Amino acid sequence: MENIHWEYLFNPELAIQSLPYILEGIGYTLLISFVSMAAGLVLGFFLALGRTSKSPLLRWPARAYISFMRGVPILVVLFLLYFGFPVIGIEFSAVTAALLGFSLNSAAYMAEINRSAITSIDKGQWEAASSVGLSYWQTLRGIILPQAVRIAVPPLANVLLDLIKASSLAAMITVPELFQKAKIVGGREFDYMTMYIVVALIYWGICTLVSVLQEFLERKFSMYAKT
């Protein structure tokens, strides 16, 4: 059996030297992840309301949107926005296309999470609120959403984790985020393995911090549920 040349697998010196350059892309990674999460939350909330609406004019368009975005790979969405839309005279910068693509895509998943959380609340609470004269929006804001948020936190955190990891696909449309920076160094130094290991550890670190935040929020909402 041939000896394994570990220096070909990971070059610590190159990793340390290249780390500052790779970390220059962390801003784009976090921008895409958190802005897309925030925008997706807002759009996903209204999609969830449309999905549960009694009106077909709201329910069916929401269902069609969710079905399309969940059924199309995010990379295809990014390519449509960045390479396809210029054909009809609409051009986006790489960062704008990434923000739009991830926001529109994540909204579909968050819509289903929100819908599931909202519909999990006992219907008797809607009826009780209506009996004391509360409107739909008053009931939703004051009674249903506080309970639904507690239920939605774990799956929404998973969506954020997926966004952070999937943001590496923005490199395919030239966004200079973490993975794109690692590819550049790997190509220049002819050592992709070291760079891929470095960037994997960085993503792992970011996702670990988000997981800690998730656990904190779960404990916080759990305390509210008991009081």
Helix 192-226 × helix 26-51 angle, to 10°: 40
Question: pLDDT 10s per residue in the chain (227 long)?
Answer: 455 555 668 888 899 999 999 999 999 999 999 999 999 999 999 999 999 888 999 999 999 999 999 999 999 999 999 999 999 999 999 999 999 999 999 999 999 999 998 888 888 887 787 888 778 788 888 888 888 888 888 899 999 999 999 999 999 999 999 999 999 999 998 888 999 999 999 999 999 999 998 888 888 777 655 54
Which pLDDT belongs to residue 1?
A: 44
Element holding 193 (H helix, E strand): helix 192-226
Q: How far apart are CA 218 and CA 225, in angstroms?
A: 10
Which pLDDT belongs to residue 201?
A: 95
What 72-77 contacts at long range (C-beta under 8 Å, 24+ apart), as own/partner pairs, is: 72/105, 74/101, 74/102, 74/105, 74/166, 74/169, 75/169, 75/172, 77/101, 77/104, 77/105
Element holding 142 (H helix, E strand): none
195: tokens are: 């760079």
Which pLDDT belongs to residue 161?
A: 95
Which pLDDT belongs to residue 131?
A: 81
Give the residue among 72, 82, 77 at the shortest CA–CA distance from 173: 82
